[in-house]
Chain A
Amino acid sequence: MPADPKQTHVATEFKHDSPFICCRFDPQAKYVFAGAEDYAIHRFELEGGAKVTLPEHDCWVRAFAFSKDGQTMVSGGSDGQLVWWPVAEPQPKPLRNVAAHAGWVRALDVSPDGKILASGGNDNRLKLWNLEDGSLIREYAPHDSNVYSMFFHPGGEFVLSGTLLGNVKQWEVASDKLVREFDAKTLHTYNGGQAVDYGGVRSMALSPDGQYFACGGLHKATNPLGAVNEPLVELFEWESQKKKVSHISDGEKGIIWRVVYHPDGFLVGGCGGSGGGLLYFWKPDQDKPFHKVKLPNTARDMDLHPDGLRIATAHHDQRIRISSMTPKS
């Protein structure tokens, strides 16, 4: 069945007793993993909703990544730790702990060949790790600010990092060479009255045909401390680095926490903030979304199921919601 964004509706909810922070489906499509404000990871079985709790991090968990075979999950915490887990054990126990960053781990990704784990964090660093044994492969030159997001180019040759100040760096995986930079500074605001830096590249994604590179975050931040800002995705042409279009909202307030390309070529944006929770659907040639879905509560993270039909969202109201892009049964 093809995905139809205009049919998107909340199909399932997994209830917990603490607000959620982040969520990811596992590659085998059996579970959704979620980090919560209770300092634990919670694994929900998609069929039936059985919950298993993985308490290991000393602080909030903010990021997940999976091995390509789906057997291993790595979590990154605000304690700077990386923890390796067996995905499908009845009660997973940590396989390995690595002190990775001085400060929060904000983003994780695994290389297309499944051998390298990349991590970015509040120490302004992007690091590469051997996924098999947890050893450090490479540490790139420091960034200008916190690394908010990162991802591997599907070709495997490059890894990209996005920062609070709106700089995106494209690094060579095989060396420590900086290849080029994208200017996504429209996603950053310095508010002189409040004396704060705000925004940043919260998420990045490449279109399935490799043509477009999306950087998600926020703009129009007239009151950062009061959450007065609107979601924004800057879309670049990958090869030329020219800006293709700015994907905007219909005036709703919020932050794009994550962008993911659907295999059919449209972009899904998970949004939360003072405007509540929203899912946006954009086409590469349009600034406004061709569809949007209001969620029952503000969203803090989003992931697309491997089947291309379901979307998971993490919510403050202690729920993981699974939305379906199919007609209601």
Chain B
Amino acid sequence: MRCTYACGTAEHGIARRQFLGGLATGGAAGLVGGLGALAQPAAAKELASSQKRVLLFFMSGGLSQLESWDPKPKTDTGGPFRAIPTSVPGTHISELLPLTAQQMHHLAIVRSVNTKENDHGKGRFMMECGRRQMAGAKYPHIGAVAAKALSPENASLPGHIHITPGGGGGRGDNAAYLGPKYASIVLGNGNPPQNSERAAELTADADARRNDFRRNLNRRFTARRRTAETDVYTYNYEQAQQLMRQREIFDVSKEPAADHERYGKHALGKQCLLARRLLENGITFVQVSHSNYDTHNENFNFHLEQVGEFDRSFSAIVSDLADRGMLDSTLIVVMSEFGRTPRINPRYGRDHWGNAWSVVLGGGRVHRGALYGATNKNGTAVSDKEVDHGQLFHTYLQAVGLDSTSSFHVGGRDLPMADPAASAIDELLV
């Protein structure tokens, strides 16, 4: 299901194909990459035994920084909520995040994001792809980059998963030149991939014979005319078979009842628990979208609802990743397409605001408990260490051990992994 925005703009368009069909349509994905993109050979070896992962929370519509990571209580823009202390001395966040406040020693806040973009679609593209959208140019989503650069070449499961609110599913069109192998597989409402169950009328025997026949034809064809495209085509079919065999990995009902309770009985709780399950089973990149924060009206009531829900599920997964020793290998990012205006409008709403807002990171090489950058007293402008989407994108990649200044070699061309005009925020990395 598409999330609808208050301002009526179209969501960043993602053309979706049926999952299995999408898997079968292998494109010209570059076959270079995988662990080859790591900064150093030693790191590659280390990663082979401890695969890096990324967990991204996308707060659809534009989370208010004032009702989350950068509260400004008792100012003209502050709103009715208070700031509370966290597990990091001196760092305060909104009182809407009491459980997350106890996990802040695992996380870092960047309070000085200025993307200068107030459009939903453009802002989302910038944050997810690390570059400004340009006519005729397509750039891969960070999930596609992570899947290509971090997933083992022979991974039996897809490396790029999006868990979205509502129903639906299929495959995203967000891998650009990296090819459909790295495009997102969408798990609508946390359900297993569409069409990943063998049809009831098809017996296991008949299915096996059918696939044997396909493999025979493939072998005959590739013996004479093997290309990169045919390899991807074959790989995608085999991955789909693997996925069907491992369908249980996507079944969140297998998780303990106590964990369901702890993560929250709402949809986001189930989706976060599924995200944990996927990461534990070796999926490289998982994005969880939480909807909807486009609060032009009654910003405070709606943030009370939404952030309260997020707080419970998010704090639980951060705590679990830490307790299970996964934080060193798992980057956590919480982002939106932009923040919300400091000015409170007549309907108690806040509007789109890309000029001074916050992003949260944690895990990987991210400095735990860091507070980077600042906004002025009432949050109307960045006052210290301004950063943008390009710098953040480099930082995400560096945080999982990648050399973000390197390139993918695709179709005979070197394509920079991140915007060459930007660089990582070194102070945030250890």
Contacts and interface: CB of A to CB of B under 8 A. Distances in A.
A238 interface: no
For B82, B267, B301, which residue has the most chain A Cβ atoms within 10 angstroms? B301
B266 to A, nearest CB: 9
A195 B167 CA distance: 13
A225 B61 contact: yes
Interface string B1-16: 1111111100000000
Given A19-B344, A298-B347, A226 B3 contact: no
Given A39-B74, A194-B3, A225 B294 contact: yes
Contacts of A298: 346-347
A112 interface: no
A246 interface: no
B92 to A, nearest CB: 14
A202 B229 CA distance: 61
Contacts of A227: 6, 296-298, 347, 349
Greatest chain B CB density within 10 A among A104, A146, A196, A274 is at: A196
B291 interface: yes
Interface in A101-138: 104, 122
Contacts of B348: 300
A225 B3 contact: no
B165 interface: yes
Contacts of A274: 297, 347
A243 B346 CA distance: 32
Given A198-B298, A225-B297, A297-B346, A59 B6 contact: no
Interface residues of B, number: 38
A225 B302 contact: yes
Nearest to B292: A194
B330 interface: no
B7 A226 contact: yes
Contacts of B294: 194, 225-226
B76 A60 contact: no
A19 B347 CA distance: 11
A225 B346 contact: no
Main secondary structure on B side of the interface with A: loop
B6 A192 contact: no
Contact of B291 (A194, A223, A272, A317): A194
A78 B292 contact: no
Contacts of B296: 225-227
B81 A197 contact: no
A225 B9 CA distance: 13
A197 B305 contact: yes
Nearest to A193: B4
B176 interface: no
Nearest to A145: B305
Contacts of B298: 198, 224, 227
A225 B76 contact: no
B165 A223 contact: no
Contacts of A273: 297, 347
Nearest to A315: B346
B166 A316 contact: no
Contacts of B305: 196-197
A122 B304 contact: yes
A297 B296 CA distance: 17
A224 B291 CA distance: 13
A84 to B, nearest CB: 21
B295 interface: yes
Contacts of A196: 292, 302, 305-306
A45 interface: no
B6 A195 contact: no
Nearest to B61: A225
Contact of A225 (B1, B74, B267, B295): B295
Contacts of B78: 39
B80 interface: yes
Interface in A172-212: 191-198
A39 B241 CA distance: 61
A226 B298 CA distance: 9
Contacts of B344: 19, 37
A194 B2 CA distance: 9
Contacts of B80: 59-60, 62, 78, 104
Given A196-B302, A273-B347, A38 B4 contact: no
Contact of A226 (B1, B2, B8): B8
A193 B347 contact: no
Nearest 9 CB-CB pairings of A with B? A225-B6, A226-B6, A227-B297, A193-B4, A78-B80, A316-B346, A60-B80, A194-B292, A298-B346
Given A59-B81, A274-B347, 7 more contacts: A58-B73, A195-B166, A196-B306, A223-B4, A224-B302, A227-B297, A227-B347
Interface of B: 1-8, 61, 73-74, 76, 78-82, 165-166, 267, 291-292, 294-298, 301-302, 304-306, 344-349
11 contacts: A38-B76, A58-B73, A58-B74, A195-B291, A195-B292, A224-B298, A225-B297, A226-B6, A226-B294, A227-B6, A274-B347
